[in-house]
Structure 1
Amino acid sequence: STAFADPSSSGYDNDATKPVNVDYKRGYDEISNSNYQLSIKYLLKAAKTSPDNPDVYNLLGFSHRKLDKVEEAFKYYNRSLKLNPRHQGANEYIGELYLRTNNLKKAEEHLEVLDDICLFGCEEYDDLKDAIEKYKKSM
């Protein structure tokens, strides 16, 4: 998908009393402007101050995927999913990355995870399902 999901959909504890990670916000904003290299710079700083935040690693994966850095993208998505296996964005994006590497089976596994998480449907499920359907039609 060309857009990226709101990171608050991760299920990560976004307690309003916690200070906002400025580097995370800058990295997020740079993704909105398609400045993926700059977003990585800020997100790597954010990862140092918030090493247990799956949203940081999800966006690092997203930025690397947009720069066609597949191995790095997998590394960061897997880190995000290790911290939160039910992270909706990371499950969608790693599924899309598996399609890019012609691994339909793994993409479908992440669609099943999203189906389990999103009891009443969610954008991440719909986007990955659409991507899988397009992939199958192109085969």
Structure 2
Amino acid sequence: MGHIQHRQPEPPITPPELPHGIHTSAESIYKQTLNAETRNAIVLVRQILVTGQGHLQSVDSQGRYVNYDAGDLWDVLTENEESADLRIFAGLALSPDSAFLRTLCDQFLGTRIAPFIKAHAELMAAQAERVYLVQEGY
């Protein structure tokens, strides 16, 4: 007769504690990159959507580098929102002094673009932190 073997689950592997200076530096790199990428992406994404020119360099969740052009941004921003309409950005390019269009763009930025930019900045910050730790031998 066959016997059922019971296997003890292996304890989870916890990463070794980093020296205080390395941990502090890695944390600082993460925060600085997060802030810089957030600021830069807000301007760049708006520019890409208005002009249709340029691209946003980012990383995906596996750490692979990716580029988003206007078409890619359109796809990402509208995939969950059937009624999403980015034509307001083209309208703003034609009428940059329109307070109404600027308000619509700002509302769109807050509801759809902000989560994308937040995810982008967090991924870029995590990548910068990983690169630093690898360079330091961790």
Query: Does the TM-score normalized on the shorter chain lie above 0.5?
Result: no
TM-score when scaled to structure 2?
Answer: 0.29
The structure whose residues are more often helix, as a share, is 1
The structure whose residues are more often strand, as a share, is 2
Q: Highest CA radius of gyration, 1 or 2?
A: 2
